[in-house]
Amino acid sequence: MYDAARSRGGDRAAESEVQGTGMWNGRTVSVVLGTYREKDSIREVIDGFFATGVVDEVLVVNNNAQPGTEEEIARTRARQVFETKQGYGHAYQRGLAEASGDLLVLAEPDGTFLPRDIHKLLVYSDDCDAVFGTRTTRELIWRGANMGVFLKWGNWAVAKLVEALFNTSHLSDVGCTYRLFTRATIEGIRDRFTVGGSHFGPELMLLTITSGARVVEVPVNYLPRVGVSAVTGDLRKAVILGLQMIVFILRFRLATGRAHRPHLHRTLTDRRSTTPGPAGAAPNGAAHLAAPVSPTGAAKASARPGAEGDRP
């Protein structure tokens, strides 16, 4: 029988053997976690990310978190900042502003994501400016995860709405926090952030897509949450959030007019210019490569769990 807690422990034990000095192909990596009700899981999540050996910094944004959270974070190597404006958007905007890495990874501290899946995002960062995770791949949804019929197909449908309206790469999940961005991508759009609430995720996705950034989506594992979500744990709140997302997306599309993303093809010259440079340098020719990259079968293959025991 599947045991989520034991599987998490197994992943953590395996990752503890891969301690390293951080960085990915000469670029520093920051993981941003926004916390509100994750006291019982946040310490293990932080330790898990550091144990991957590729993370230089874990930045935790304390968004008026429950008592005891600050003390749990203090027992780790993470850096903690405080954001008093309540809301998912406010927390992650503060984190993106404070993080120091060349590659910025957003994740959740509630145990729903595996730290080792950061490798999937990093692999595609060599070719793309943003990598979106998706939680809707059936084989990677763990037994007990909060991804029922409504949440799974609701996220899929809204993602397809974005894909159609903005003529972008394959998308299947509009609400997945697990994402990677280059610093240049975030610096190019951060002045346009407007949403402080739970639908900041779609705004971040749309601003990235319409900026001309090269984006790709990869499947990630989705585990049972430790504790109850303040939003998706309540069906009524989840429905309201879904409607907010749809309205926001439609308004955003109307505001952007009839402009379309450029359809550019990469050349051999472009490929030579995408080799990783020193930390701080503009990564992967981002200044002149704006064409979206569609995910390939390799992306799906790379997402298979490491062992049969990981499967739901």
Q: Span 66-93, mean pLDDT?
A: 97
The whole-number pLDDT of residue 312 equals 47
**The two structure tokens encoding residue 237:** 């709140």
Contact 203, 194 (CB under 8 A): yes
Instruction: Compare 109 and 301 and report the one with higher pLDDT.
Output: 109
Question: Exposed (0-12), middle (13-18) or buried (19+): which is 118, by Cβ within 10 Å?
Answer: buried
Domains: count for the chain: 1
User: Contact, 100 vs 27, CB < 8 A?
Assistant: no
- Does 38 score more than 90 pLDDT? yes
Coil, strand or helix: which one is 109?
coil
| Distance (Å) of CA 124 to CA 8, 177, 269 | 25, 17, 19
Q: Per-residue pLDDT for 93 more than 70?
A: yes
Residue 116 · residue 31 · CB < 8 Å = no
Q: Tens digits of per-residue pLDDT, 256-297? A: 875 445 554 555 555 545 555 444 444 443 333 334 444 434
**Mean pLDDT across the stretch 150-176?**
94
Mention every residue, 6+ apart, whose C-beta is less than 8 A from residue 105: 29, 30, 31, 32, 55, 118, 121, 178, 179, 180
Choose between 224 and 284: higher pLDDT: 224
What are the CA-CA distances from residue 113 to residues 6, 42, 206 (Å)? 15, 12, 23
Pairwise pLDDT comparison (82 vs 275), residue with the higher score: 82
pLDDT at 226 over 50: yes
298: pLDDT confidence band, cut at 50, 70 and 90?
A: very low
| pLDDT at residue 279 in the model | 45
Confidence (pLDDT) at 274: 52
Find residue 32's DSSP bridge partners: 59, 106
Q: How far apart (Å, rounded) are the C-alpha atoms in residues 149 and 70?
A: 35
Helix, strand, or coil (residue 267): coil
pLDDT at 177 over 50: yes
3-class DSSP state for residue 286? coil
What is the pLDDT, as a whole number, of residue 238? 77
How long is the chain? 312
Residue 276 confidence (pLDDT): 53
Do the domain assignments include residue 190?
A: yes
pLDDT at 3 over 70: no
Q: How confident is the model at residue 113 (pLDDT cuts 50, 70, 90)?
A: very high
pLDDT of residue 282: 44
- In this prediction, residue 41 carries a pLDDT of 97
CA–CA separation, 52 and 118 (whole Å): 8
Predicted local distance difference test score (pLDDT) of residue 240: 85
Residue 149 lies in a domain: yes
Amino acid identity at 290: A
* 3-class DSSP assignment, residue 103: strand
pLDDT reading at 169 higher than 60: yes
CATH number at residue 293: 3.90.550.10
Per-residue pLDDT, averaged over 50-79, amounts to 97
Higher pLDDT, 285 or 150: 150
4 located within any domain: no
Q: Residue 13 pLDDT more than 50?
A: no
pTM comes to: 0.78
List the domain range (segments joined by +) for residue 111: 23-300
Is residue 152 one of the residues assigned to a domain?
A: yes
Between CA 193 and CA 151, with CA 121 as vertex, the angle to 5 degrees is: 65
| CA pair distance 211, 205, nearest whole angstrom | 10
The pLDDT value recorded for residue 8 is 53
Residue 4 reports pLDDT greater than 70: no
Is position 311 within any domain? no
Judged against a pLDDT cut of 80, whether residue 181 lies above it is answered with yes
* CA trace torsion 222, 164, 122, 3 (10° rounding): 10
- The pLDDT assigned to 261 comes to 54
Helix spans in 99-182 (H): 118-125, 149-166
Sheet bearing 215-219, strands edge to edge: 79-82, 57-62, 29-35, 103-107, 179-182, 130-134, 215-219
Residue 34 makes CB contacts below 8 A (sequence gap 6+) with 60, 61, 63, 83, 88, 91, 92, 95, 108, 109
Burial of 257 (0-12, 13-18, 19+ CB in 10 A): exposed
Name the amino acid, one letter, at 77: R
What's at 162, amino acid-wise?
V
Across the range 153-175, mean pLDDT stands at 94
Whole-number mean pLDDT of the chain?
82
User: Per the domain annotation, does 305 fall within a domain?
Assistant: no
